[in-house]
Chains A and B, each alone.
Chain A
């Protein structure tokens, strides 16, 4: 690093604590609270919100049409067939779940590491997780062909006396994903209770007082409650951390437990988890950059946040690069004919273009440019980059699923895969649903955790003498 970059910038050091500032100085408890609650409590919804909401709603409607048609006709309307029986449904499932992982990483892992900067972005990152899991959960359910029998996955005492088969990774998936969805919702909601109480107290209309009042459950900020709340937050963070690492690990087991060349590798769990965090941070940027711009949150979601997300992407991007490298290396080093062929087929086979798209989007562009602090702090660049990385990560799953399945051991069973319009409608429909849900969240719930931002303000600083006496 050049010396000019390590030079300490006086403006960025907080004189009270001697630490790097995360949010812009000169803000008060009341000012921050007013700013965040006003975004929700204002009766005026910005026109731009309606515009995007309309487009996203159209996407969600398209999803509904595609799903209704699927229910009427069956999964034959998708391109899935033998040998590629997984297709878009599983690609999208893995992609969406991966996107969700960054939310948990920000809310849980960075909390355990005491990364104060996460405080202003964790709420909407968690919301992103939940909506991504909603989109992800749709796909396996639709893909089973008869979604109305989806409850067969659960160990329920049914009249037929049939029980699930717990030695299958698909069952593990069911438990991993449902646990992940539940814990994410609980963590998100518990974290929001104090802010909902603020919303209740700042509401002017009767209706919003009732609604936020009910949601806040009568929170009144007793320090006894806060102590339990803090303990529970830490415990949930400690539980969500191994959970989030397990979820993509279990999803990678769906592949790694099979004997298919290109799937049957031990690098899959860490490589999937790193890829998940990589794409998730990209999605955080795709959401945070427009949000801070349109809602004028530049003082709370600062350049430093975007910069840090870029650094996390750089690190996880290199783990992903290691995963790709190791796949290629093992294809050669294992001396396994089928593994070697699979790798060759991925890069130079009939669908080789998709491999080079993924290399370009996931490695070539981000891992060269993210080193530059100037580019990491360029909003337009980071926004475009986040879209590129998410495209690349989608293609990663495409490559893993389609190229491996389409050409396995016996050339006589080889096939090809070409997605139908229903595949595309379902996929882009979930993107619409995701944005639709996210916009509702932005409009009706506080998107920045006020109680956590307050702890970072100068007013929260207690004189060391008082603090020391209190601790006796």
Chain B
């Protein structure tokens, strides 16, 4: 477990997305690995800049959808042939064409639920407390109009004085120390 006291990291605030991306890319190139960017709207380039290229949401969605569809088809087959066979005008009990519609719906249902819950789980949400919320400028700007780069204390390169100077070189609006 990471330490829950002391410094979480250093938070640099930028005015424009371009400044953030430039700083993030440079930090990544300089060997920083424990870093994250925060923006008020999806900023694909910033995720790329810190080396976050792909995620597991599509895989989870695929698995969820296939399992959901298979489960529904199996359930209908079991109910119609074994558990409760009904003779409707002499039609076969295993009338699989009629099972397609609920199977289709459940494929979508479980794929969609997997996508949504998978996203939340991979992001570690709900997480109502996070050290960054201790920073007033983060609370004011991160979900409105400012762009943040956080160098985390867990990175081996982290040093309170040197890293602050390092961030200042990108000319941010401010650099704040974030406590746990």
Identify the A interface with B (CB < 8 A): 28-30, 33, 155, 161-167, 171-172, 175-176, 179, 182-183, 186-187, 189-190, 193-194, 197-198, 200-202, 213-214, 217-232, 235-236, 239-240, 242-243, 246, 250, 253, 451-452, 454-455, 459-460, 462-463, 466-467, 469-471
Q: Distance (Å) between the CB of B71 and the closest chain A CB?
A: 11
Chain B residues engaging chain A, CB cutoff 8 angstroms = 16-18, 21-22, 25, 36-50, 52, 55, 57-58, 61, 65, 72, 75-76, 79-80, 83-84, 86, 88, 91, 95, 98-99, 101-102, 104-106, 108-109, 111-113, 115-116, 118-120, 122-123, 125-130, 132-133, 138-140, 142-145
Residue in B38, B49, B109 whose CB lies within 8 Å of A182: B109
Query: In the docked arrangement, what's the CA distance between A222 and B116, Å?
Result: 17
Which A residues are in CB contact (< 8 Å) with B129? Answer: 218
Inter-subunit contact A166/B125 (CB<8 Å)? no
Contact of B52 with A227 in the complex, beta carbons under 8 Å: yes
Task: Pick 29 A–B contacts, CB within 8 A, sort by A.
Answer: A161-B84, A163-B84, A165-B86, A172-B101, A175-B105, A179-B106, A179-B109, A183-B112, A218-B129, A220-B38, A221-B142, A222-B38, A223-B36, A223-B46, A223-B47, A224-B55, A224-B123, A226-B43, A228-B122, A230-B44, A232-B116, A235-B57, A236-B112, A239-B65, A240-B112, A250-B105, A460-B41, A462-B18, A466-B45
- Docked-complex contact B127 and A218, CB < 8 angstroms: yes
CB of A160 to closest CB in B, whole Å: 10
**Docked complex Cα distance between A467 and B130 (Å):** 30
The reply to whether B113 and A186 form a contact with Cβ atoms under 8 Å apart is: yes
Name the 5 nearest CB pairs between A and B, nearest first.
A29-B145, A217-B126, A163-B84, A470-B45, A218-B127
Q: How far is the CB of A44 from chain B (nearest CB, A)?
A: 22
**A246 and B104 form a contact (CB under 8 A):** yes
In the complex with contacts A186-B113, A226-B42, A462-B18, A217-B55 CB distance below 8 A: no
Choose among B52, B65, B79, B105 the residue that contacts A223 (Cβ–Cβ < 8 A). B52
Asked if A201 contacts B142 (CB within 8 A), the reply is yes
Chain B interface helix/strand/loop/mixed = helix
Most A Cβ at <10 Å: residue of B36, B42, B43, B58: B42
Distance in Å: Cβ of B56 to nearest Cβ of chain A: 8
Pairwise interchain contact B41-A452, C-beta atoms closer than 8 A: yes
Complex contacts, B125 vs chain A, CB 8 Å: 193, 217-219, 225
Q: State the CA gap A6–B48 with chains docked (Å).
A: 40
Tell me the complex Cα distance, A452–B98, Å: 41
Q: Which residue of A has the minimal Cβ distance to B17?
A: A462
| CB–CB A201/B115 < 8 A | no
Residue of B nearest to A177 (CB): B105
- Given A165-B86, A246-B105, A466-B22, the answer on whether A187 and B42 have CB atoms closer than 8 Å is no
